[in-house]
Amino acid sequence: MKWTKIEVRTGSRNEFIDITNRLSEALEKSGVLNGTCYVYMPHTTAGLTINENADPDVVRDILAGLSRLVPMKGDYRHAEGNSDAHIKASLMGFSLMVPIIEGRLALGTWQGLYFCEFDGPRNRQVMVGFTTE
């Protein structure tokens, strides 16, 4: 499988960036009509998730909920001081799979694919690969 790198510039410490369109563009270029889309991210303080991209309050509420679950300050030992970001990243995960049907990502009507930044702003990378059935 050939992997394509997508550069993502994040703008704040905690934010979700909708990368659905960039993945759809990469899929179109690949020419794959039916198969599987894999998305991977080589970072430890950012993650990937799929969730609603219709109402922006959903992302706001997820970020607020994660910060309640995992406060920035706590009983952490990691000297870099960003343990909250590492924990949030592991909660989201580092890879995703989406079916490809008739040349399109088979996402639900309200679904978008998000890059989840927890220790920005930074220059990040996402790797996307497509396989045919």
- Tell me which residue of 12, 37, 15, 11 sits closest to 26, measured CA to CA: 37
**Size (the chain), residues:** 133
Within 45-74, which residues bind Zn ion (CB under 5 A)?
A: none
Q: Tell me how far apart the alpha carbons of residues 41 and 30 are, in angstroms, rounded to a whole number.
A: 19
Q: With respect to Zn ion, which residue has the nearer C-beta, 61 or 80? A: 80
H helix intervals, 33-82: 56-69
Phi/psi at 93 (nearest 5 deg)?
100, 170
Q: With respect to Zn ion, which residue has the nearer C-beta, 118 or 130? A: 118
Beta bridge partners of 48: 115
Q: Residue of minimal CB distance from Zn ion?
A: 80
Q: With respect to Zn ion, which residue has the nearer C-beta, 40 or 76? A: 76
Which of 39, 82, 84, 120 is the binder for Zn ion (CB under 5 A)? 82
Question: What minimum distance in Å lies between the beta carbon of 80 and Zn ion?
Answer: 4
Which of 28, 55, 57, 80 is the binder for Zn ion (CB under 5 A)? 80
Contacting positions for Zn ion (CB under 5 A): 80, 82
